[in-house]
Amino acid sequence: MSDQLVLKAMEKEDLEFIHGLMNNPDIMSFWFEEPYQTKVDLEEKYMKNKDNEHIRFFILKKHEEQLGFVALYSIDPVHRKAEFAIIIDPAHQGCGYSGKATELAMDYAFNILNLHKLYLIVDETNEKAIHVYEQAGFKTEAVLKEEYFIKGSYHHAVYMSIFQKDYLKR
């Protein structure tokens, strides 16, 4: 893995890449969502949210290659917290990019936005993601029992977080 990984603000021309990710059933099952996004819908959402101060959308890139999508949702300037989400393109999974992308997102959240807390919700069966988050310093706060219905069964969701003070100590 190269240190050339960067988070770039998502642009309109990235929507084709995002469309492919958001319509992948394997990816979206881990996002607790239906793999159903039209290009028109994605473009409308992009245009509506491109100036929204409570959201940051990034494309993970290595040189000019798109590797994944990283987002900070529900950015709360009063309570100084946000939800973290990530997708690594299946063609690039297993290369260690998710750990580096998580670090880049935490750096942005804590050093640029000056957030106090970053949290995420992950499917309990997504052991690889949980391992990445634990390696990055996230701690489990709660397990939400049978929270989401995915592929015919209910799944537990793990609520994890990391605080700015703990991130800065590392």
The 3-state secondary structure of the chain reads CCCCEEEEECCHHHHHHHHHHHCCHHHHHHCCCCCCCCHHHHHHHHHHHCCCCCCEEEEEEECCEEEEEEEEEEEECCCCEEEEEEEECHHHCCCCHHHHHHHHHHHHHHHHCCCCEEEEEEECCCHHHHHHHHHHCCEEEEEEEEEEEECCEEEEEEEEEEEHHHHHHC
What pLDDT is stored for residue 3 in this prediction? 63
Average pLDDT over residues 1-17: 88
pLDDT tens track for 138-168? 999 999 999 999 889 999 999 999 999 999 9
pLDDT range class, residue 1, cuts 50, 70, 90? very low
pLDDT tens track for 19-66? 999 999 989 888 888 888 899 999 999 999 999 999 999 999 999 999
Longest C-alpha distance within the chain, in Å?
44
Q: Please tell me the distance from the alpha carbon of residue 170 to that of residue 158, in angstroms, as a whole number.
A: 23
- The active-site residue out of 46, 73, 97, 133 is 133
Owner of token pair 């998710």: 98
> Above pLDDT 90, what percent of the chain?
89
* Annotated catalytic residue 133: yes
Dihedral sign for Cα atoms in the order 96, 97, 98, 102: positive
